[in-house]
C-alpha cells in the first residue's frame, strides 16, 4: 500500500512564527503536492513538485514556500504564519505508470493548523 | 470561473435511491479524470478513475464527455455508508479539485 505520512495531525502556532509541515511518501513517486482545504472552497493547490529540487506554484502560493531536497520528502513552509493560514493542509503524491500515464493521487491524513 | 465546478449539494436521499452528480471543467488539455470520496475529517480517497468510454464499479458508474467537458457519477441503490462528500478531480500536470458535492443518505 502507498503510504503518505504527514508529520503532525494537529498543530497550533503563533502569528509570525515560521512553520514547517513535512510530508513523506514511500512509493518513489515523482509528483508531490500541497493543498489546503477550507469549508466551501474545497482543496486549493498551493505548490507542487514533479522532481527533486523542482517546484511549481499552484493557485495560492502567497505566504508559502516549499522544499524538495529528496524524492520522498516535500516540505511546506509558512514563512510568517498568519491567522488566515488556519486551515487543513493535505499532502499528496502521484506516480507514473510504465505507459507514461500518471496514477491517481494518494493523500496523507492531513494537518489541521491553527494560527493564534 | 473555477477550473472545476460541481453542485455543492447537499443531496439528501433515502436508502435505495439513485443519485447523479455532475461536474464541468474548463481546461480542454486535461488528461486524467477521477472521482474521490471524502469522509468528514478524513483525507480524500480515490473512488474511481473516469475513462472516455465510461466505466462501472459495482453500484457506481462514471462517464466522461470530452466534447462538453463534463463528468458524471451515478450511484445506484444508495447505502447509508455512501454518505460523504464526492470530489470531482481533473488532471494535466497537476490535479485540480472541485469543491465537492455532499451526499446524505437517510433510512
Chain B hits for A107, Cβ within 8 Å = 43-45
What per-residue confidence (pLDDT) applies to B10? 92
What per-residue confidence (pLDDT) applies to A45? 94
Residue pairs spanning A and B at CB distance below 8 A: 45
**From the list B45, B49, B99, which residue is nearest A42 (CB)?**
B99
Q: Are strands A64-70 and A56-57 parallel, antiparallel or unpaired?
A: unpaired
pLDDT greater than 90 at residue A95: no
What per-residue confidence (pLDDT) applies to B5? 93
Cis status, amide bond into B10, omega within 30 of 0: yes
Helix (H, G, I), strand (E, B) or coil at A102: strand
Q: What is the pLDDT of residues A21-68, one digit of tens each?
A: 999 999 999 999 999 999 888 899 999 999 999 999 999 999 999 999
Locate the chain B residue with the closest alpha carbon to A91.
Answer: B43
Percent of chain B at pLDDT > 70 equals 100
What per-residue confidence (pLDDT) applies to A81? 98
pLDDT greater than 80 at residue A94: yes
What per-residue confidence (pLDDT) applies to A97? 78
Task: Report the distance separating Cα A93 and Cα A110, nearest Å.
Answer: 13
Q: What is the pLDDT of residues B18-77, one digit of tens each?
A: 999 999 999 988 888 999 999 998 999 999 999 888 899 999 999 999 999 999 999 999
E-strand stretches of chain A: 4-6, 10-13, 19-21, 23-25, 31-38, 42-49, 56-57, 64-70, 73-78, 87-94, 106-107, 111-115
Enumerate residues 53 to 82 of chain B having a beta carbon within 8 A of any beta carbon in chain A.
none
In this prediction, residues B76-87 reach a mean pLDDT of 97
What per-residue confidence (pLDDT) applies to A104? 85
Cis status, amide bond into A98, omega within 30 of 0: no
- Contact assessment for residue A72 and residue A23, using Cβ atoms and an 8 Å cutoff: no
Strand partners, B12: B104
**CB-facing half-sphere around the CA of B92: CA atoms within 13 A:** 9
pLDDT greater than 80 at residue B1: no
| CB spacing of A42 vs B87 below 8 angstroms | yes
- Contact assessment for residue A34 and residue A74, using Cβ atoms and an 8 Å cutoff: yes
Give A47 to chain B, closest Cα distance, Å: 10
- Contact assessment for residue A64 and residue A9, using Cβ atoms and an 8 Å cutoff: no
Chain B hits for A103, Cβ within 8 Å = none
What per-residue confidence (pLDDT) applies to B9? 84
In B1-107, which residue ranges form alpha helices assigned H by DSSP? none
Residue among B53, B97, B8, B19 nearest A104 (CA): B97
Phi (first) and psi of residue B54, to 5 degrees: 80, 150
**From the list A42, A50, A106, which residue is nearest B97 (CB)?**
A42
| CB spacing of B45 vs A56 below 8 angstroms | no
In this prediction, residues B9-13 reach a mean pLDDT of 93
Amino acid at each position: 500500500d502507498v503510504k503518505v505520512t504527514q508529520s503532525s495531525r494537529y498543530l497550533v502556532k503563533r502569528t509570525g512564527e515560521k512553520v514547517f509541515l513535512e510530508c513523506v511518501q514511500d512509493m518513489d513517486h515523482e509528483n508531490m503536492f500541497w493543498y489546503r482545504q477550507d469549508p466551501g472552497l474545497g482543496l486549493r493547490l498551493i505548490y507542487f513538485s514533479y522532481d527533486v529540487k523542482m517546484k511549481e506554484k499552484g493557485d495560492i502560493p502567497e505566504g508559502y514556500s516549499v522544499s524538495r531536497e529528496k524524492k520522498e520528502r516535500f516540505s511546506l513552509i509558512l514563512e510568517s504564519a498568519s491567522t488566515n493560514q488556519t486551515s487543513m493542509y493535505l499532502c499528496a503524491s502521484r506516480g507514473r505508470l510504465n505507459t507514461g500515464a500518471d496514477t491517481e493521487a494518494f493523500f496523507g491524513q492531513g494537518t489541521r493548523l491553527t494560527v493564534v | 470561473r473555477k477550473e472545476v465546478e460541481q453542485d455543492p449539494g447537499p443531496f439528501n436521499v433515502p436508502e435505495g435511491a439513485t443519485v447523479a452528480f455532475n461536474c464541468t471543467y474548463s481546461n480542454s488539455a486535461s488528461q486524467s479524470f477521477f472521482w474521490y470520496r471524502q469522509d468528514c475529517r478524513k483525507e480524500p480517497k480515490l473512488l474511481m478513475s473516469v475513462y472516455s468510454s465510461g466505466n462501472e464499479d459495482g453500484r457506481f458508474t462514471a462517464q466522461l464527455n470530452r466534447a462538453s467537458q463534463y463528468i458524471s457519477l451515478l450511484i445506484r441503490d444508495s447505502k447509508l455508508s455512501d454518505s460523504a462528500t464526492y470530489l470531482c478531480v481533473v488532471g494535466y500536470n497537476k490535479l485540480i479539485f472541485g469543491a465537492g458535492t455532499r451526499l446524505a443518505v437517510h433510512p
